[in-house]
Chain A
Amino acid sequence: MSPMTKKLGIYVCSGCGIGECLAANRLTEIAKREFAAPVVQSSRAFCLEDAELIRNDVAKGVVDAVVIAACSPRVNTDVFAFPGAMVERVNIREQVAWCHPAGDPEAQAMAEDHLRMGIARAAMRKAPTPYTEANERRVLVVGGGIAGLNAALHAAAAGLEVVLVEREARLGGAVARLRSQYPTRPPYRAPERTSIGQLIDEAQATDRILVYTGSRVVRVAGQPGRFNVTIARNGSPVELIVGAIVLATGWKPADKARLEAYGYGRIANVVTSLELEEMAAKGSVRRPSDGGPVKTVALISVDSPADEKQIPYAGNVESLVALKQAIELRTDAPERQVYVAYRYMHAPGQNEYFFKAAQQDAGIFLTRAAGRAVSEDGNGRVLVELDSTLLGGRQRIAVDLVVVGTGMEPASPEVEGLNLAYLQGEGMPVNRFGYADSNFICFPYETRRTGIYSAGCVRKAMDLAESAQDGAAAALKAIQCIELSSAGAAVHPRVGDLAYPEILTRHCTQCWRCTEECPFGAIEVNAATRTPQVNPNRCRRCGTCMGGCPVQVISFADYSVNILSSMVHAAARPDGDGAEPRVLVLACENDAYPAIDMAGVNRATLPGSVRIVPVRCLGSVNRAAVAEAVIAGYDAVALMGCRSGEDYQCHFIHGSEVLKTRMDNIREVIDRMALGPERVQYLEVAISEADKIPGMLNDVLAKARALGASPLQHAAE
């Protein structure tokens, strides 16, 4: 392979102990001899004053592709950024010099191969042309409750145009039906008025917010920066284009059938907490059966073990609403007696003070018990059975009114949400609780539909204060997505990446696997040509499409099967070389690769016959790239990625999962070459498991040793 139209500059660093372990001059010789690079330099520290040497070469125009053999690409990214040149980093510090004994010939060979691979990649990478055709800045907010109103008002305050769509005739959502909310400010002891009326007034008075009530979204097509939205407004369609979407469709009461076990539906004076709230908001609380006074009340939490599936849907809200209603029922009528039966009292944070306030009220009887309404007597009173775990016995009380927890389910994005015109389905992909899937601990807003951010109770059961925060947060994500999309740049986690998948449709067999495997639904089928079509702004640049394509027609300007293959061949095993098996490690750059770096930082000893190539995600590994490694004479290939399954760790949702399913296919290919399918191994590793890296790699090596040398070694020439 001969480079090429690029003006290569190869910079080999010998600082940080590199020079003590490796012969840097042999690396520069390779750059000159094998690649005829016009500029080859070495330094004791390119990250310090000598960065100027590189900067000058770029400024003079003698170099436009910089290859720096030094530290890991994870560090010094800001130092080694040279506008006007592409930069390729070759890791000879953490993964070579720091984890091998000084003067080790294997380490030297490893560093040389890493340099060859880096130069091969630099030679083949193209500068991406960003996709900048979608740059509409308007935000669509679906749902006019507390979360949606907050999203709309905040986006408008930041200067964006907003379209707020509400299904009902009036704004306000569920909150408008509530009497009050539990406390948000010190001393956290008394219920507060909600801010909903004020928010509605503000939204209606804001010029930048266009309110569509009595409307629903019937279709969303397109991509961030240019979603084509159809809204049915009082029955007639309205078409508009928006840049990003906040989904704040809220919650709905859980199935009432489950409340029958508590007496609801069977006994007239058993109501849900939402029904009580509405009754109280309208005026006085009376018995539904006869309008009689309510002197005693039992508030029952619906959290018995039998309701296991429902529990996630209420969060803290059910406990705190019960406390609020108890306090209000007492304030309204001081002679009233209120029982609160619960299994767990969820009063986190400062809500504890509110719990205290209820405990200090002599008319509120808090009891840890499973409660249910059993029957009614002739006078409209309800008999309640309290099965007390605390006192170890059963207790019966007669009350005028029983209130059971309503339960909150997400208003299904599938049915009441956006009607996405996406090949992968109309709804947001959801997790096991029915909420939009995301890396929900660290990155709770990163849904699998780029540019669409869920907020409020459609995302998680939450209270008013949290919904307000959530609406604001989702609006920020929408604004951010608009900013980045208009520049053709990726959003989280490969923020700013300008390259996107390009499909050589001429050679596409129309299997559409890419459209199915994309974790983000970024690829549609072109109606006219029947070939896949990428929506660049939906894409998060993981390369899962590239990894799955059976005919390898999907690539990025700077990342492709061809690039990986040429890297592998650049570090092909010389014929008859050495006794140790040669192993290619394709390591996920998010977790596995940093873990290997950390093994180096910890000065662990790693085997020298491995060659390590970072990949964006295991999902981007194509069987052809693995086959090329075997053809190039590698004895084994280790694929290192993140944990898969229910508690997946993959930043691209299911990269390692799809790779696992692809393994059969990969092994079959290797098997057809009569090489033994176990030459390819799949390994999961967490970023913190640097201590396990030496063992894992030695294990791969031991297995390769047991298999014997690859018979294809001679083919490596």
Chain B
Amino acid sequence: MLEAQHRSVHRSIVVVGGGIAGISAAVEAAEAGYEVTIVERNPYLGGRVAQLNKYFPKLCVPTCGLEINFQRIKKNPRIRFLTMAEVKSISGRPGDFDIMVNQRPRYINDRCTICNACAEACTQKRPDAYNLGMGTTKAIYLPHTMAFPMKYVIDDAACRPEACGKCVDACKYGAIDLAMQARSLRLKAGAVIMATGWDPYDAARIDNLGFGRSPDIITNVMMERLAAPNGPTGGRLVRPSDGREVRRVAFVQCAGSRDALHLGYCSAICCLASLKQASYVIERFPDAEVTIFYIDLRAPGGYDAFSRKIQASGNVKLINGKVAKIVETAGDLVVEAEDIQAQAKRRVAVDMVVLASGMAAALKRGKPQADIAFDDDRFVVADGTAPGIYAAGCARSPVDVATAVQDATAAVMKAIGAIQTAARG
């Protein structure tokens, strides 16, 4: 009888965000015996790491670890996931949360066999979001070649369903349903993990660095796509403007980060990301000239060895100083900076400039109605956040992949502790 007086306790966890932190949290929780639902905004899981060409410091491919994790998700009936879905509100208490979710229509059902007939029939185009707008896809498209779930999706901002319907005729499997509607769902869970990740800081807001003025000034996330074999150039490092090979590349560190006008904090990974991206240039062009403009070169701990390895290539020049401006002259981009150590002005002509734009909390775009405390940069802080809700990865702080996984695993432990404590009453 005493049992009956207890509130129901759900042995389940809702994970908000299906990037590396969210996926890791989901598999770790499910393999410890808990039911998990991942709520992901994109039409695919993997988040930002799915856009990366390689990881530092091993220069290995993210797909390798993602494949293992996706297999773990597929084989574990305890995990389910919603794509194109966003959490609107979280209410309740440990053991008993209500999570309201809005899910946008995919217009594709489970019958899709990725035959591509629909895309061949489709007449509308959209900017390729996965490739950060470098190139286009059809309005009906596969998000990318390693997408999970591997299913097409229709971008309803680009599609003309009332006038067209060619894709429906082309699909032999009855996989397209243009009448599909957005829906609201109520999920129940014992605990919630916020793994909402990050967005690249909008480089266009940094006036002096010229992003948007020249197509050859790109961000570090765009550089990942350019170097990726499944990217817009098939992995060829060429200038977006004229297709010229980029042998001379400048990296501008702290593009937005450590800057009171933009992001006050350090984004923690950009020094290592630029060193990694320097290796992309060097492996393609033995005569590459890479210049990295930095304030502090932050490659702490074991990353120091990686930093030294890249520097030892002989193709990398480090200049300690902030970039003042970037100008276009005679087909080149000229980067002007103060060299603090030499106490001189430097002008370096390059083929392409990569802005090491920082990581902004994705929750800046919009946050669910929930008892969650934030700092001024809208990173989640544990103090003030309701018990039973835990943040992991870049929702909490800008971190590298290994730390995001560590954080996710810790968040699962806390979530399980909260559920078990609630169950004991």
- Residue numbers of A with Cβ under 8 A of B are 15-17, 45, 47-48, 74-75, 77-78, 154, 157-159, 185-188, 308, 311-316, 319, 344-353, 356, 389-390, 392, 432-433, 435, 439-445, 460-461, 466, 469-470, 472-473, 475-477, 479-480, 483-484, 491-493, 495-496, 590-591, 594, 598, 601-602, 642-643, 647, 649, 651, 686-691
User: A441, B402: Cβ atoms under 8 Å?
Assistant: yes
Partner of A495, one of B75, B114, B265, B401: B75
User: B58, A154: Cβ atoms under 8 Å?
Assistant: no
Give the chain A neighbours of B69 by CB distance below 8 A.
442
Given contacts A158-B417, A352-B258, A687-B64, contact A187 B376 (CB under 8 A): yes
User: B410, A687: Cβ atoms under 8 Å?
Assistant: no
User: A186, B376: Cβ atoms under 8 Å?
Assistant: yes
Give the chain A neighbours of B113 by CB distance below 8 A.
15-17, 45, 47
Given contacts A74-B71, A351-B266, contact A691 B234 (CB under 8 A): yes
Question: Considering only CB atoms, which chain B residue lies closest to A313 in the complex?
Answer: B301
Partner of A686, one of B61, B234, B265: B61
Partner of A348, one of B173, B266, B410: B266
Partner of A315, one of B31, B300, B413: B300
Given contacts A312-B301, A350-B375, contact A473 B420 (CB under 8 A): no
Q: How far is the CB of B131 from chain A (nearest CB, A)?
A: 15
The CA of A198 and the CA of B376, in the complex, are separated in Å by 28
Question: Considering only CB atoms, which chain A residue lies closest to B69 in the complex?
Answer: A442
Q: How far is the CB of B267 from chain A (nearest CB, A)?
A: 8
Give the chain B neighbours of A691 by CB distance below 8 A.
229, 234-235
Question: Considering only CB atoms, which chain B residue lies closest to A468 in the complex?
Answer: B410
The CA of A186 and the CA of B258, in the complex, are separated in Å by 16
Q: How far is the CB of B9 from chain A (nearest CB, A)?
A: 13
Give the chain A neighbours of B376 by CB distance below 8 A.
186-187
Partner of A392, one of B230, B341, B377, B402: B341
Question: Considering only CB atoms, which chain A residue lies closest to B257 in the complex?
Answer: A352
Most chain B beta-carbon neighbours within 10 Å: one of A441, A460, A690: A441
Given contacts A349-B398, A441-B65, A601-B145, contact A461 B413 (CB under 8 A): no
Within 8 A of A (CB), among B191-239: 228-230, 234-235
User: B229, A442: Cβ atoms under 8 Å?
Assistant: no
Most chain B beta-carbon neighbours within 10 Å: one of A77, A442, A466, A479: A442
Q: Is B405 an interface residue (CB 8 A)?
A: yes
Most chain B beta-carbon neighbours within 10 Å: one of A313, A347, A432: A347
Give the chain A neighbours of B27 by CB distance below 8 A.
495
Give the chain A neighbours of B31 by CB distance below 8 A.
480, 483-484, 491-492, 495
Q: Is B164 an interface residue (CB 8 A)?
A: no
Give the chain A neighbours of B235 by CB distance below 8 A.
691
Q: How far is the CB of A530 from chain B (nearest CB, A)?
A: 37
Interface residue SS majority, chain B: loop
Q: How far is the CB of A72 from chain B (nearest CB, A)?
A: 10
The CA of A460 and the CA of B405, in the complex, are separated in Å by 14
User: B234, A687: Cβ atoms under 8 Å?
Assistant: no
Give the chain A neighbours of B299 by CB distance below 8 A.
344
The CA of A77 and the CA of B67, in the complex, are separated in Å by 14
The 5 residue pairs across chains A and B that have the minimum distance between CB atoms: A442-B65, A157-B417, A473-B409, A315-B301, A348-B268
Q: Is B366 an interface residue (CB 8 A)?
A: no
Give the chain B neighbours of A185 by CB distance below 8 A.
375, 381-383
* Binary flags per residue of B290-309, CB closer than 8 Å to A gives 1, else 0: 00000011111110110010
The CA of A352 and the CA of B359, in the complex, are separated in Å by 14
Q: What total count of A-B pairs have CB within 8 Å?
A: 231
The CA of A690 and the CA of B173, in the complex, are separated in Å by 27
* Binary flags per residue of B23-37, CB closer than 8 Å to A gives 1, else 0: 000011001110000
The CA of A349 and the CA of B266, in the complex, are separated in Å by 5
User: B410, A470: Cβ atoms under 8 Å?
Assistant: yes
User: B405, A444: Cβ atoms under 8 Å?
Assistant: yes
Within 8 A of A (CB), among B138-152: 145-146, 150
Give the chain B neighbours of A484 by CB distance below 8 A.
31
User: B300, A15: Cβ atoms under 8 Å?
Assistant: no
User: A349, B399: Cβ atoms under 8 Å?
Assistant: yes
Q: Is B68 an interface residue (CB 8 A)?
A: yes
Give the chain A neighbours of B111 by CB distance below 8 A.
45, 48
The CA of A460 and the CA of B300, in the complex, are separated in Å by 11
The CA of A688 and the CA of B53, in the complex, are separated in Å by 9
Q: How far is the CB of A409 from chain B (nearest CB, A)?
A: 12
Give the chain B neighbours of A647 by CB distance below 8 A.
57-60
The CA of A129 and the CA of B304, in the complex, are separated in Å by 48
User: A649, B64: Cβ atoms under 8 Å?
Assistant: yes
6 of the cross-chain contacts (CB-CB < 8 Å) are: A158-B417, A185-B375, A344-B299, A460-B301, A472-B409, A476-B32
Partner of B60, one of A308, A483, A496, A686: A686
Partner of B298, one of A348, A466, A473: A348
User: B75, A344: Cβ atoms under 8 Å?
Assistant: no
Question: Considering only CB atoms, which chain A residue lies closest to B414 in the complex?
Answer: A472
User: A344, B296: Cβ atoms under 8 Å?
Assistant: yes
Partner of B32, one of A188, A313, A441, A480: A480
Q: How far is the CB of B173 from chain A (nearest CB, A)?
A: 7
Give the chain B neighbours of A17 by CB distance below 8 A.
113, 115
Q: How far is the CB of A353 from chain B (nearest CB, A)?
A: 7
The CA of A351 and the CA of B398, in the complex, are separated in Å by 11
Given contacts A78-B74, A443-B65, A480-B28, contact A470 B406 (CB under 8 A): yes
Question: Considering only CB atoms, which chain B residue lies closest to A316 in the complex?
Answer: B300
Q: Is B76 an interface residue (CB 8 A)?
A: yes
User: A476, B301: Cβ atoms under 8 Å?
Assistant: no
Give the chain B neighbours of A389 by CB distance below 8 A.
341
User: A688, B61: Cβ atoms under 8 Å?
Assistant: yes
Give the chain B neighbours of A345 by CB distance below 8 A.
296, 298
Give the chain B neighbours of A591 by CB distance below 8 A.
64, 67
User: A442, B401: Cβ atoms under 8 Å?
Assistant: yes
Question: Considering only CB atoms, which chain B residue lies closest to A444 in the complex?
Answer: B402
The CA of A78 and the CA of B72, in the complex, are separated in Å by 11
Q: How far is the CB of B172 from chain A (nearest CB, A)?
A: 8
Given contacts A75-B150, A352-B266, A591-B64, contact A476 B375 (CB under 8 A): no
Q: Is B132 an interface residue (CB 8 A)?
A: no
Give the chain A neighbours of B341 by CB distance below 8 A.
389-390, 392
User: B68, A590: Cβ atoms under 8 Å?
Assistant: yes
Given contacts A157-B421, A186-B381, A594-B67, contact A601 B75 (CB under 8 A): no
Given contacts A157-B417, A643-B60, A651-B68, contact A344 B297 (CB under 8 A): yes
Partner of A690, one of B74, B145, B297: B145
The CA of A585 and the CA of B193, in the complex, are separated in Å by 43
Within 8 A of A (CB), among B21-52: 27-28, 31-33
Q: Is B357 an interface residue (CB 8 A)?
A: no
Give the chain B neighbours of A442 by CB distance below 8 A.
20, 64-65, 68-69, 401-402, 405
Question: Considering only CB atoms, which chain B residue lies closest to A71 in the complex?
Answer: B113
Q: Is B340 an interface residue (CB 8 A)?
A: yes
Q: How far is the CB of B304 from chain A (nearest CB, A)?
A: 5
Give the chain B neighbours of A390 by CB distance below 8 A.
340-341
Give the chain B neighbours of A642 by CB distance below 8 A.
64
User: A154, B406: Cβ atoms under 8 Å?
Assistant: no
Most chain B beta-carbon neighbours within 10 Å: one of A74, A188, A345, A688: A688
Partner of A157, one of B146, B383, B403, B420: B420
Given contacts A159-B420, A389-B341, contact A476 B413 (CB under 8 A): yes
The CA of A187 and the CA of B377, in the complex, are separated in Å by 10
Question: Considering only CB atoms, which chain B residue lies closest to A476 in the complex?
Answer: B413
The CA of A484 and the CA of B173, in the complex, are separated in Å by 39
User: B67, A598: Cβ atoms under 8 Å?
Assistant: no
Most chain A beta-carbon neighbours within 10 Å: one of B63, B111, B150, B377: B63
Q: How far is the CB of A705 from chain B (nearest CB, A)?
A: 27
4 new A-B pairs (CB below 8 Å) besides A687-B67, A688-B230? A48-B111, A187-B375, A469-B407, A476-B412
The CA of A315 and the CA of B267, in the complex, are separated in Å by 16
Give the chain B neighbours of A432 by CB distance below 8 A.
305
Give the chain A neighbours of B331 by CB distance below 8 A.
none
Given contacts A493-B68, A601-B145, contact A472 B413 (CB under 8 A): yes
